[in-house]
Amino acid sequence: MSEQLIHGILLALHNIALVGCAAAPFYNRNLVVVRGQYGATLHYKLDKVIEDTLQGNAPYCMVFIAVLFLTGLGIPLNHYIYAGAFKSLHLVATVAVSLKMICIFGMVIIMFIIFFQINPRLKELFASFKDGEKPDAKNEQEFFAKRARRKALCETCLKLAIGVLVFSAFMGFSM
């Protein structure tokens, strides 16, 4: 009974984190695509909202990926604690787990690049802009180049998140 209850709680948290990991890059992508309709020129108030939103989502992304990873470890450990051995997996499930972990690690790498390299520079560049003033052309060009790089990384992150969702479906494959 305890093992099943703990498994259910871990699985529920895992699924919530899984949805969060997939939803964040999806909605961020949509926001960026809509913003792209206005071109690579600064629209201060619009760009402030975009940056505040995208950079404000960073802590949520980190929490979702941490919960996904920790519950992903917790589920088999829970079985080990109660059964004295890890559950043996079918080859299909083993491949799915491996591919899912590769996707998750890819997402973590992308998050670190965005959160600790690109976003701080974007924040610094945006701080140099003033509402109602024409921005320095060099800073504006770098700002939109960094945004384009972040967008490309988010596109990859979205594909990896879809991979996590798809591979999760095959983890229950049994013998």
Beta carbons of 147 and 53 less than 8 angstroms apart: no
Per-residue pLDDT reduced to its tens digit, 5-31: 999 999 999 999 988 888 888 888 889
Beta carbons of 118 and 150 less than 8 angstroms apart: yes
Question: Which whole number is the average pLDDT over 60-76?
Answer: 92
Question: Which whole number is the average pLDDT over 142-160?
Answer: 94
Whole-angstrom Cα distance, residue 60 to residue 159? 19
Task: Output phi, psi for 61, to 5 deg.
Answer: -60, -45
Q: What are the helix (H) ranges across 84-136?
A: 91-113, 119-127
Domain residue ranges in the chain: 2-169
User: Which residue, 15, 13, 107, 24, is CA-closest to 58?
Assistant: 24
